Amino acid sequence: MSSNKSATAPALTLKPSRLLRVYLIMITASALAVLWYLNMIDWPVKLPLTVFICYSTWRAWQQHERFVYAKHRGENRWLLVDKNGEELRAEFVQEFYVITWLVVMNFKLSTGERVSLVLLQDRLESDLFRAIRVYLRQLPRAEK
């Protein structure tokens, strides 16, 4: 029995994740509830913090839905396709997090921007989710 040390990454067709939306809403609601429950903070501070929390949640939501397709192009090179159909070259920076129900992959776009793909189980077909977890687990970790 031989082991395949050079497994290839599957092409990922990404769907919007309902789970991530629910998590974002729950975290935001919790943060806002705590903020508004605290009596030691005055209105002039609570209002900008509320705006900041809501804006951060909106940006996270937009970032999550930005990409609809990801394909490995060899070495650390990937092709990411955004929801407008624009193809972006990206370098996989070998920083990732893999557990049973969550995968986070970090990329550096050719523009210099750093982005993360957050993949929950409902964002991919189950066989693709399993395949990307297997692929990432066999990769060496980035040096810090």
Rounded Cα–Cα distance for residues 15 and 119 (Å): 9
Return the pLDDT at 75.
Answer: 85
Number of domains the chain contains: 1
Residue 3 has pLDDT above 60, yes or no: no
Return the pLDDT at 43.
Answer: 84
Range list of β-strands (E), the chain: 12-13, 67-72, 77-82, 87-99, 102-109, 114-120
Question: Does residue 3 fall inside a structural domain?
Answer: no
User: Whole-model pTM above 0.85?
Assistant: no
79 to each of 27, 91, 119, how far by Cα in Å? 31, 9, 16
User: What mean pLDDT, rounded, does the chain reach?
Assistant: 89
Question: Does residue 4 fall inside a structural domain?
Answer: no
How does pLDDT run across 17-43, given as a tens digit for each residue? 999 999 999 999 999 999 988 887 888
What amino acid occupies position 110? Answer: S
Residue 142 has pLDDT above 80, yes or no: no
Question: Does residue 5 fall inside a structural domain?
Answer: no
Question: Does residue 14 fall inside a structural domain?
Answer: yes
How does pLDDT run across 69-96, given as a tens digit for each residue? 999 998 889 999 999 999 999 999 988 9
Over residues 46-63, mean pLDDT: 93
Rounded Cα–Cα distance for residues 102 and 114 (Å): 19
Return the pLDDT at 6.
Answer: 56
Domain span at residue 79 reads 10-139
DSSP reduced 3-state for 3: coil
